[in-house]
Each structure stands twice: as C-alpha cells, then as structure tokens.
Amino acid sequence: MQSTARLARGCTPLLLKHTCCSADRQLLLNGAFSHLKRKQYIQQSQHSCKGFQHVLRASATTVAPVLEKQEVEMAAPNPIYRKDYKPTPYLVEHVYLDFLLNEDKSTVKSKLSMTPNYENSSSTPKLELDGRKDLTLISVSVNGKAVSEADYERTDKKLTINNLPQGKFDLEIVVDIKPQENTSLEGLYKSGGNFCTQCEAEGFRGITYFLDRPDVMAKYTTRIEADAKAYPVLLGNGNVLEKGSAAAGRHFVVWEDPWPKPCYLFALVAGDLACQEDVFHTVSGRDITLRIYTEAKDIHNVSWAMDSLKQAMKWDEETFGLEYDLDLFNIVAVSDFNMGAMENKSLNIFNSRLVIASPSTSTDLDYSRVEGVVAHEYFHNWTGNRVTCRDWFQLTLKEGLTVFRDQEFSSDMNSRPVKRIEDVSRLRTAQFTEDAGSMAHPIRPDSYIKMDNFYTLTVYEKGAEIVRLYRTLLGKDGFRKGMDLYFKRHDGQAVTCDDFRNAMADANKKDLTSFAAWYGQAGTPQVKVSPVYDASGRTLTLKVSQHIPATPGQAHKKPVPIPLAVGLLASDGSEMPLHLKGEAGEAATTKVLLVEEAQQDFVFTEVPEKPVLSALRDFSAPVKLQVEGQTDAELVFLLAHDSDPFCRWEAGQTLLRALLTTLYHAARDQKEPELEDRLAAAGGVPESVTSALGSLLTSKDLDGMFIAAGISLPAATELIGDIPNIDPLLLHNVRKYVVKQLAARLRPQLEATVKQNESAPGDSFVPGEFDQAARRAVKNKALGYLSALDDPAVHADLLERTRSATNMTDQISALAGLADSECPERKTALEELYKQWKDDSLVMLKWIALQAGANVPGNLKNVEKLVEHPAFSIKNPNACYSLFLSFLRSAVNFHAADGSGYKFIADSVLKVDKINRQVAARIVSSSAFTALKDYDLERAQMMREQLTRISAENGLSENVFEIVSKSLES
C-alpha cells in the first residue's frame, strides 16, 4: 500500500504508467479519474489481479455513466503510516471555546494559545489544522488581527496558515456548523433533541479547526450557550466556573477542565435531561459528586449503572491505588451513538443501552455489560486520560490495558472462571476470525486509512490478552509495580506501547524486548505440544512448536514469547507436583513455561506415571493450541477432573469441535441419502460425548453459569478457517443435528435441570445476584436444547414462558427458543412481545435482532419488511447493529445459495453509508466478506461481486472503502 500514498499525493499522469495494483484501483474507485482517463486506463491496463478486474468491470458499467454527468473529482484516501510520526511544529497550551447553540446553525469560536515546538530558525513553519469540509469558516485571526486570505489555504481536510509570528501567539477561529444535519454522529450532533459530541478518534475536526491528534494536550475552558427552556442542562468537561442567563431566553455555563487533554476527550452536552445524583467517598476522604443523566422516562433505571460506577471507583483504589481526580463525575446516556461509550474527561457519554437497566427489560447479560462498560470508561480516567496515546497507532496502549482492567474488575465482582470463559469465547469467535481475514492487523497497526476502522477486537481484546501476558509472567505484584512506574513516569504525557512495556520491564528488572513482536505481528500463533513420556527415566518431555500464519502484508513472522501454563494430572485425577528440569524451588501444580523459540523442549522430572496434560491453563496466551496425540478419553478425563476451570471447559469444547469437524467432512463427502442418515452412518454423536455432557449437566459441584458454558456448542465461526472452503449452510445443519441428538438423548436430564432451576413464585430479580443469574443461565440453556426437538409440547411451553416470565432474561430466552422454529407459537410470541414492549426501544432492539438472525428458510423477506417497520430506524446505530449484524449471523439466510443475503447486505451498506459511515463500515467489517477466501468457491465469488459493487459506488466513504478494498485484495 505504500506506493498508494505516493501516487495519490503525486500527479495524475503517473497513474497511466502505474506499477501497483492497489494504488490505481484505489484512485479509480474514488473518482479521482475522470471518465475519459478511466476509459483510457481500462484499455491500457495490464492488471491481472482478481480484485482489480472486478473493480474494472463494475466501474465501467456502474460508475462511468454517473461520472460522465457529474465528473466528480475527489481526492483518493491516503493511508497514514506509523513510521511517519512527527511531532507538530506548534503546541496548544490553552483552548477557550465558545459554543452558541441554535436550531439552524451553531457557532463555535475558539481561541487557542499556541506555543512553538520547532527548532529556532529565521522563518516560522506553517500551521496545518484539521477540519472537515462542512465547517463554514467565518474568520481567522492571529493576535487579534485578521489573517489575510493570502496567508491561509483551505482544502476539504485542512486549514493551513502561513507567515505566523515568532514565539507564542493567540489564534482565533470562528466557524459555523449544523449539528442538526449531522447524521454521522461524529463531532457535534443531535440525538433525541439534545446536543452531544463524540470526538474520538477524529471527530473534533468536525467541530472546529484544530490540531486533531492525541499528542497535542491542552487545558480547556468551554462556554456553552443555548436556549434555556429547550436545553436546561449544559455540560462540559471539568468544573463549573460560571453560569448565568443571556439575552432572548438563553443561558450559559462556563466549564473549566484543569487537566490537560487531547481534543478527542473533549465533550459537550446540552439538553433536557433528568439526573440521578450520588456521592462517592474516596480513600483519601474526598467526596465526589456522581451524576447520571438520561431522558426523563429512563431516569428511574440508572441505579445499577450508579452502583457499578461506585464499585469501579473503589476497585481502582484498592487494586491499583488510583483515585478520581476531580470533584464531579458525569455520565450522560444518549440513544444515538456509534459505539458503546466514551471516556471524555469527567463527562462520559454512553450509548443508552449501556446505562439503562431494569429487570423487566434487561437480561443478565445486559446487566453485566452495563457493569463492565461503566467500569471501563471510568478506568480510562487513568489509563487513557491521565496517560494518553502519542498517536492513534498506539490505541491498544489505552484500550488493551483498559479492557484488561475491566475484565479483572468483572472477575472480582462475579465468577472469575465464567468471565474468563466468556472473554476467551469472544476472542476466539470474533478476534481470531479478524486476525485471519482481510483486515488482519497487529494490535499496533502500521497504517490506516480511517482510524475508526481500527477500534477492533484485535486492538481491544487481543490487546488485553497481551497486557495479561505481563501479569501472568510478572505475577500480580510485579504487574502492579509496573503500573506504578508507568504512572510515575508518564502521568500527563502522550506515550507509546513501548513506554508501557519498558515500565513493566524496568519495574521488574526484566528484559521484555521480545514482547515487541506481539505488537508488530498480526495473526494468531498456532502452538503444538507433543508430550513424550519416558517411563524408565520418569520424565515427561513437552515438545513445543509455534507458527504464525501469514497475514496481508506480512508473509513471514518471527516467534513470539508465549507463556504456556501447564499442569499434569495423575490417573486418579489428582494434580502432580511439577519439577522442571534445571529449575530448583518449590514444586507447584501449575507451571508457566515461556516458549520463545519456533521449537523448544521442556522436560519434567520425577513424573511417576504417564500423566494427562492440562495445557494453556486459564488461557495463558492468545494462541490456537493443539495437543498432539490427545485422545477423546483424555478430553473426557480433563472435563471431569481438571482443577483449572478454563481447561475443564476447554476439554469439552475441543471434543465438540472435533465432533463437528468429523461430521462435517462425513456429510460433505457424500451427497446421499438424507443428511441425518449420513451423519448417523458416520457415527453420529458418540456415547462418550453425550455422557460427558450429561455428567456436566448434572454435576453438583459446578455453578449453573459454568454448566451453561460447558454444554454450549462452539460457534460456527470457530470452525470457519479451519475447514478449508467451508459450506456455511452445511456446517449449520451439522450443528443443528448435533444439538438435536444431544437434546433427544439428554432429554430427561435437561427437563430435570429446567425444573430444579425454575425460579420460585415470589422470587424477585436481584441485579447482580450470581446464584439467581446462574440458575437462569442453565435453565435457559437447557430450554434452548429442548427447543431443538421440534416438539409441539416444547413450543407450547416456550410460548407460555414468554407470557409468564417475570424478567427479560427468561422472556427473551423463551422467545429465542421459538425464533428458529417454523411453528405457530413463534408468530404469536413475536406479536405479543411487540405489543407488550413496543414503547421500549431497548427491548425492541432484541425483538429486531431475534427476527433478523433467525434461521427459518426464506426469512429475508421478513427482514426486508423489518427495515420498513416503525420499530426500526436506519439512522439509529443500535437499530442497524441489531438488524444487520444479526442477519450476518444467519447461516440460512445471509449465506443463502442464491446470493440474496449478500446482495441485501451490500444494498444496506450502501444505504447506511450515505447516512453514517462508521455504522456502514462496521457492517462490512463484521461480515464474512472480509473472510471470503474461507468459503466455498461459489459463495466466495458471490461475495466478491457484492464487494465490487460496493466499491464502485460514487462517493463511497473512506471508512467503507478501506475495508472493501482490502477484502477484494485478499
């Protein structure tokens, strides 16, 4: 991609003598070519690359006629490279902002005190400010004097000022913006009639011209003025300095934030909002005022978020010695928000679905998400705000670390093993897929076109796993020492991932240089372990090897340091004390081996009998593990006896993955007779698997949450990529078969589980109460299995449950049990739920998701109707995610053999892109389109056609462009 940038910045004639495929394609797609040039180019083109030919074809037929009329001349998107980082020639000491908010247009006046950051020289460097093209520039002045037109230049993305004075100066800029027309939900926009902002990553440039990058840290004072009646609440960062009324029924508040910050942490809210207030007493004896703001109708449902906030504040004091640093902390819930939430200094803005919770409308999962995200954003106050990122490539510095912190918090608040299993499942089902697809990138990427495309599972979840590696290796105390040093060194700074690693290393006097490889390489390492037992020498040798598959732009990888936690089980199920050859010290029962080479042997001595290996305990590294020679019997043994809960769960999952793979191949190799008969002939579900799951189900020593996870089948996406050229529909049918077989054979145990875990009449829902939630989890999991039986009695029971449920967890689970069955109860239950909850937009999101994701054949026509339904709004990101992302998960309908599902998604992406580029990009990046090479050839081809069609769209956003072009290249 490197030459892309060079070409894009260079002159057009060069293009005709191109050498680089992707470079030219990029320009072609973005209308940088006139129709004529496009035609010439197409004739001269010698390209052979597959993706390019598709684009050419599509652009010739679809784009060219459009272009003829409009002759759009747009700049091609330039990738930004990490290696090009340079500090800015000017810094900003203080920002004074004045917002005049109105219905037709709003005015933003900024006064920046600028300080030089360049080497002394006779002339001063130019100042390049970022700003979106929809800013209307009213005036720009330096030290009170208007800058002459000759001294500044404007492009669609920049305002460049020349001939600046030596030394410090004041820069004043006035712009007009139209938040009411801003559907991208970046910068300043309106949601539910209120003004709010979202500036990370580069939204501030939609508000005014500024050095919109995280290494420019300044102190902010913000005056907000608006109509007093319509916008009684005016919120900003920091503390209130002044407030009062203004002419014409208006009022204002001035906020001052004493902590220097990058502009991505700036926030403003103006609206008619209700508030719940509380107080937190810090460890040093200060009282912090906590306020949560929502629309009036929701304010009685914020106490769980408030409790979570207080718990998080306390936990951070106790765990990391980190106290809150202002006297006020605000959270505002808005219903139109591109992501989960945002950690703006002292003014967190949240997607309302992560603040509002009530038993009758929120599931146990919703409650735990609220808890986790409220904590996450609060934790950012130290990991992100006090110490921030030097540039956006370092995003994992704050996100990986903060996810790690929120995971630890949730583990301490709930069940640690269950939380670990959930996190690993998410990593495996979604991040591993991303890491093997066309968007694969290291946790610290090397380049991007749109930073918003890199708020990924890789940066967040894999990033958190890399932080966890330090903790595993250095221990809890060593990790804390590293954190302390990190804050001591870098408080108030914008730093890099290397600074974090160095703090960990220096605080523990360890050389962690080799860990840099985890930051620079994409792809999931594959680790093989072969245990070799020598009975006469009483030794066990573990032969360990690692290999990282090639990813786009990274053909060859070097080994990464992998902490591999292992244990050895004796035949009676007990843990053996471990003696590692060449190491003295006490014999523990879990040992962390550090695998640093491509191949390495570890020898255990004094091993009295051939042990069963328990490897990758607690998922000690984000890798794919294969234990060579491991038998089903050993897996069943581990499932029953392993003292490590993660490995116990994993043993069951490994068994099930192997079963699904075997059955898939059996089904694929023959076409006759009926699928069920073919699968039965291939051995069906072996008795050993059924009984292993049966004993898990009836186990007395395990909690319901763990059991529910243990009897869950691995997600289809875990197998995609491992089985080459997969037919997703066949895989779906194989999974369905296995579920049905298990349900039929374990029916008595499943029914008993339901009965035993039924909530007693009068039991009221207590948020966060683990035992209750665990009982609901296993009961609903069992009901899910029973629903696969296609038994009218079960359908009737589920319908009854949707009616009598006293909480949303039970109600929506029962409905989910009906969603994939073509029975009359399905329709009735959906209609009834709609009637009951049509005024609750958060419940409607679940209602939409269940229908959109259903696997009933021919469901696309219903999904198309849903798009038109009053409960759906294409402008609302939550609604789009519920509908489109759920549809992507329907094997039957998204992957329909006639390509209709792919076409629907491509059409939808194009529609959404005109409204909200981030949401559109998220739909494509979540789709199988980014992993098309994993699918059967017919499907891969159909996906490619849709990508080509998207890419040929005139005026496509850079966000979607980046994902689509990378997918076509792979």
Strand pairing of 187-191 and 194-198?
A: antiparallel
> In angstroms, rounded to a whole number, what is the distance separating the alpha carbons of residues 178 and 207?
10
d(CA 391, CA 250): 39
**174 neighbors 99 (Cβ within 8 angstroms):** no
Q: Binding partner of residue 35 among Zn ion, ligand ARG, none, CB under 5 to 8 Å per kind?
A: none
- Candidates 99-107, 289-297, 336-344, 494-502 — which segment interacts with ligand ARG by CB under 6 A? 336-344
Pick the catalytic residue: 202, 377, 465, 650? 377
Which CB, 347 or 560, lies closer to Zn ion? Answer: 347
Interaction residues for ligand ARG, span 736-765 (CB under 6 A): none
Q: Which residue is nearest to ligand ARG (CB)?
A: 455
Cβ-based nearer residue to ligand ARG, 399 or 825: 399
Closest distance of CB 372 from ligand ARG, Å = 11
Closest to ligand ARG by CB, 339 or 542: 339
Q: Report yes or no: 718 and 660 within 8 Å, Cβ to Cβ.
A: no
| Given 257, 452, 465, 634, the residue binding ligand ARG (CB under 6 A) | 452
Q: How many C-beta atoms surround the C-beta of residue 145 within 10 A?
A: 9
Nearer to ligand ARG, 455 or 887 (CB): 455
Q: Quick check: 499 binds ligand ARG (CB under 6 A)? A: no
The string of DSSP letters for 39-51 reads: HHHHHH-----HH
Asked if the peptide bond before residue 673 counts as cis, ω within 30 degrees of 0, the response is yes
Residue 200 interacting with ligand ARG (CB under 6 A): yes
Q: Which of 195, 304, 329, 455 binds ligand ARG (CB under 6 A)?
A: 455
Give the one entry of ligand ARG, Zn ion, none that residue 452 binds, where binding means its C-beta sits below a cut-off of 5 to 8 angstroms depending on kind.
Answer: ligand ARG
C-beta of 820 vs 958, nearer to ligand ARG: 958
Q: How far is the CB of 423 from ligand ARG (least distance, A)?
A: 16
The DSSP bridge partners found for residue 546 are 527
Return the SS3 of 281: strand
Q: How far is CA 244 from the centre of its chain?
A: 41
Query: Does the protein bind ligand ARG through residue 309 (CB under 6 A)?
Result: no
Q: Which is nearer to ligand ARG, 496 or 508 (CB)?
A: 496
Please report how close the Cβ of residue 262 comes to ligand ARG at its closest, in angstroms: 12
Using CB under 6 A as the binding rule, whether residue 334 contacts ligand ARG is answered as no
CA dist 853 and 834 (Å) reads 17
Partner whose footprint covers residue 204, from ligand ARG, Zn ion, none (CB < 5 to 8 Å by kind): none
Kindly list the distances between the CA atom of residue 315 and the CA atoms of 87, 311, 378, 621, in Å, as whole numbers in the listed order: 36, 6, 11, 25
Query: Which x/- pattern over 84-113 shows residues binding Zn ion (rule: CB under 5 A)?
Result: ------------------------------
Backbone angles phi, psi at 241, to 5 degrees: -100, -35
Which of Zn ion, ligand ARG, none does residue 634 bind (CB under 5 to 8 Å by kind)?
Answer: none
Which has the closest alpha carbon to 299: 342, 323, 331?
Answer: 331
Residue 423: which of ligand ARG, Zn ion, none does it interact with, CB under 5 to 8 A by kind?
Answer: none
Beta bridge mates, 603: 541
Q: Given 3-state DSSP classes, what are the helix, strand and coil percentages for the chain, each rounded to the nearest 5?
A: 45, 20, 35
Count residues contacting Zn ion (CB under 5 A)? Answer: 2
- Using CB under 6 A, which of the segments 324-332, 339-347, 604-612, 895-903 binds ligand ARG? 339-347
CB nearer ligand ARG, residue 378 or residue 637: 378
Residues pairing with 563 in the sheet: 594
Q: Judged by CB, which is closer to ligand ARG: 422, or 727?
A: 422
Q: How far apart are CA 324 and CA 312, in angstroms?
A: 11
Closest distance of CB 400 from Zn ion, Å: 9
Query: Binding of ligand ARG at residue 336 (CB under 6 A)?
Result: no
859, interface contact from Zn ion, ligand ARG, none, CB < 5-8 Å by kind = none
- Using the rule CB under 6 A, is 461 a contact of ligand ARG? no
Q: Which tokens sit at 532?
A: 């070799």
Which is nearest to 868 in space by CA: 887, 848, 890? Answer: 848
313: contact with ligand ARG by CB under 6 A:
no
Q: How far is the CB of 808 from ligand ARG (least distance, A)?
A: 25
| CB-based contact 350:371 (threshold 8 Å) | no
201 binds ligand ARG (CB under 6 A): yes
Nearer to Zn ion, 402 or 741 (CB): 402
What does DSSP say about strands 80-81 and 562-569: parallel, antiparallel, or unpaired?
Answer: unpaired
Nearer to ligand ARG, 215 or 399 (CB): 399
Q: Measured from the CB of residue 749, what is the shortest distance to ligand ARG in angstroms?
A: 41
What are the angstrom distances between the C-alpha of 53 and each of 24, 25, 854, 945?
12, 9, 35, 11
Q: Among 684, 685, 701, 689, which Cα is nearest to 651's?
A: 689
Q: Which residues, 6+ apart, have CB-to-CB distance to 333 below 8 Å?
A: 292, 293, 294, 295, 298, 302, 350, 351, 352, 354, 355, 356
CB of 860 to Zn ion, least distance (A): 35
Tell me the per-residue interface mask from 391 to 420 with Zn ion, x by CB under 5 A, - otherwise. Answer: --------x--x------------------
What token pair was written down for 528? 């093989």
What mask, x for binding ligand ARG by CB under 6 A, covers residues 342 to 361?
xx------------------
- Give 496-519 as a 3 state SS string: CHHHHHHHHHHHCCCCCHHHHHHH
Rank residues 494 and 713 by Cβ distance to ligand ARG and give the closer one.
Answer: 494
d(CA 540, CA 598): 20
Bridge partners (DSSP) of residue 140 are 173
Hey, what are 127's tokens?
Answer: 């100042």
Candidate segments 78-86, 338-346, 640-648, 866-874, binder of ligand ARG by CB under 6 A:
338-346
| Paired residues of 564 in beta bridges | 593
Give the whole-angstrom CA distance, residue 832 versus residue 837.
9
What minimum distance in Å lies between the beta carbon of 460 and ligand ARG? 7
Minimum CB distance to ligand ARG, residue 943 (Å): 25
Q: Residues binding ligand ARG: what is the number (CB under 6 A)?
A: 10
- How many Å apart are CA 114 and CA 90, to the nearest integer? 6
User: Judged by CB under 6 A, which of 339, 505, 843, 879 binds ligand ARG?
Assistant: 339
Token representation of residue 319: 């765990």
Q: Shortest approach of ligand ARG to residue 402 CB, angstroms?
A: 7
233 interacts with ligand ARG by CB under 6 A: no
- Residue ranges in 521-558 assigned as alpha helix (H): none
Name which of 33 and 961 has its Cβ closer to ligand ARG: 961
CA distance 602 to 579: 11
Burial (0-12, 13-18, 19+ Cβ within 10 Å), 60: middle
- Helix (H) / strand (E) element for 910: namely helix 900-913
Q: Is 962 a catalytic residue?
A: no
Do 760 and 779 contact (CB within 8 A), yes or no? Answer: no
612 is a contact residue toward ligand ARG (CB under 6 A): no
Q: DSSP secondary-structure letter at 574?
A: P
Which strand (E) or helix (H) includes residue 331? Answer: strand 328-334
Query: Token match 């490279």: residue?
Result: 81
- In whole angstroms, how close is the CB of 295 to ligand ARG at the nearest point? 22
The contact pattern for ligand ARG, residues 361-400, with x = CB under 6 A and - = no contact, is: ---------------xx---------------------x-
Active site residues: 377
- Give the binding site for Zn ion (CB under 5 A): 399, 402
- Give the binding site for ligand ARG (CB under 6 A): 200-201, 339, 342-343, 376-377, 399, 452, 455
